[in-house]
């Protein structure tokens, strides 16, 4: 049995690829391939999160169940995908800057070793990772984490200082190579795979043709416009952690209402970008050499300086427009009901902890999901 473990990175088309694989479960089975994900999910991020929280048995049980399923169906290959497997410790600590890079990487190695130990010895493992030019990875990752996470409230330079080691692909991917073996690890260029990363995966990883599969025409994980993102960044420190997903959906609707949105997502000055790439060049060269990776797109500082248009900042007029739409969207009955349910559950856990089991049951049994789906019908 062969296991293809797709480990990311974030912001390299992972969500689109996962939704494609999930939508084509039946088609993949005809090629002897089983796509592994929990029920109602299109990746196995939740299983990886459990693994990171020392619930290795849950990871092992998930893997063994899918091995049995694959064997019953006569499959020879299992695909499991989670972008949270790249730089696991950074995501586990929510980009906490207190630990040094050496501590982070030592913990990362320990986690990769434990993950390998949880996979049965007879399973042939293949690790796959897509990477993009580090400066673009930084900006896209910053955008996503401001959009999705209330913990990111600073400027991109603050974010860079926290996650700099994540941009050193060679250091992280060398850990996977050391644990799984060099022949088991494949690194592919995101830019070289464009304009269709899914086609690249099907053709070069699965060895078949994409025309045999259903191709969902969905834009996933879209950016917020720059003004809305800036407004949300400032607001993030006031958002309750339990309401992050709710806020994300509200802002997605707000973004669609904005007139003349600003889509300038260049967060680094040209000279800052050049300095970052220069600093990372030795690591990128080792990555290209040791993993047979094509060069990333070249950066031309003079051209960048000539075309540079700085973001002017969030104007008072635009702030008022965003606030107007935010208040209108969050007052919709569905969002109000959902926020009320969340706050009631949070209050119950604090004041009546003996009822926590009931809330956990509602979450685990799918009742919570059904309630949230019901409230969404009021939007």
Q: What is the pLDDT of residue 373?
A: 59
Instruction: Kindly indicate whether the domain formed by 2-212 is annotated with CATH number 3.40.50.720.
Output: no
pLDDT of residue 290: 96
User: Is the bond into 195 cis (omega within 30 degrees of 0)?
Assistant: yes
φ/ψ of 124, rounded to 5, equals: -85, 115
Q: pLDDT value at position 85?
A: 96
Domain ranges of the chain: 2-212, 226-264+313-376
CB half-sphere exposure, 68, CA atoms < 13 A: 6
Alpha-carbon dihedral sign for residues 163, 167, 168, 174: positive
* Rounded CA separation 48/141 (Å): 19
Give the single-character DSSP code of 170: H
Residue 356 has a pLDDT of: 64
Helix (H, G, I), strand (E, B) or coil at 34: strand
Are 223 and 229 in contact by the 8 Å Cβ rule? The answer is yes
Number of residues assigned to the chain: 379
The Cα 61–Cα 57 span in angstroms is 6
Q: How confident is the model at residue 214, as a pLDDT?
A: 79
pLDDT attached to residue 201: 95
Whole-angstrom distance, CA of residue 4 vs CA of residue 78: 6
Q: What is the pLDDT of residue 17?
A: 95
Alpha helices by DSSP H, the chain: 14-23, 25-29, 45-52, 56-72, 88-92, 101-118, 134-148, 156-163, 169-180, 190-193, 197-204, 226-235, 244-257, 270-291, 301-307, 316-330, 333-351, 356-365, 367-376
Q: Supply the pLDDT for residue 360.
A: 61
pLDDT at res. 371: 55
Within the chain, which residues score under 50 in pLDDT?
Answer: none
Residue with tokens 């094509």: 294
Cis bond leading into 9, ω under 30°? yes
Residue 268 confidence (pLDDT):
96
Q: Judge whether 37 and 95 are in contact, CB under 8 Å.
A: no
| CA–CA gap between residue 6 and residue 130 (Å, rounded) | 9
């Amino acid at each position: 049995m062969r296991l293809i473990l797709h480990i990311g990175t974030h912001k390299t088309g992972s969500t689109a690829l996962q939704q494609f694989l999930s939508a084509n479960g039946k088609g993949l089975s005809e090629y002897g391939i089983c796509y592994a994900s929990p029920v109602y999910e299109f990746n196995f991020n939740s299983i990886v999160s459990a693994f990171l929280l020392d619930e290795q048995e849950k990871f092992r049980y998930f893997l063994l169940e899918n091995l049995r399923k694959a064997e019953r169906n006569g499959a020879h290959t299992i695909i499991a995908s989670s972008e949270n497997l790249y730089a696991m410790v950074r995501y586990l600590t929510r980009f906490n800057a207190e630990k040094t890079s050496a501590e982070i990487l030592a913990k990362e190695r320990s986690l990769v070793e434990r993950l390998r130990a949880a996979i049965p010895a007879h399973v042939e493992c293949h690790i796959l990772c897509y990477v993009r030019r580090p400066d673009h990875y930084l900006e896209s990752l910053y955008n996503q984490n401001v959009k999705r996470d209330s913990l990111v409230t600073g400027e991109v330079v603050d974010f860079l200082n926290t996650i700099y080691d994540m941009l050193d692909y060679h250091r992280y991917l060398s850990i996977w190579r050391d644990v799984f073996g060099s022949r088991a690890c494949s690194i592919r260029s995101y830019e070289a795979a464009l304009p269709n990363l899914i086609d690249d995966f099907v053709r070069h990883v699965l060895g078949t043709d994409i025309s045999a599969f259903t191709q969902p025409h969905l834009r996933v994980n879209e950016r917020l416009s720059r003004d809305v993102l800036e407004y949300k960044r400032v607001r993030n420190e006031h958002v309750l952690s339990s309401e992050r997903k709710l806020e994300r959906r509200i802002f997605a609707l707000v973004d669609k209402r904005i007139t003349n949105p600003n889509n300038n997502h260049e967060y680094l000055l040209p000279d800052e970008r050049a300095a970052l790439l220069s600093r990372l060049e030795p690591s990128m060269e080792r990555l290209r050499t040791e993993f047979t990776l094509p060069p990333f797109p070249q950066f031309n500082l003079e051209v960048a300086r000539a075309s540079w248009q700085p973001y002017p900042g969030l104007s008072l007029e635009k702030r008022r427009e965003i606030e107007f739409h935010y208040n209108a969207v969050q007052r919709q009955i569905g969002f109000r009901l959902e926020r009320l349910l969340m706050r009631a559950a949070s209050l119950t856990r604090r004041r009546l902890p003996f009822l926590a089991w009931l809330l956990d049951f509602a979450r685990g049994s799918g009742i919570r999901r059904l309630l949230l789906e019901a409230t969404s019908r009021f939007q």
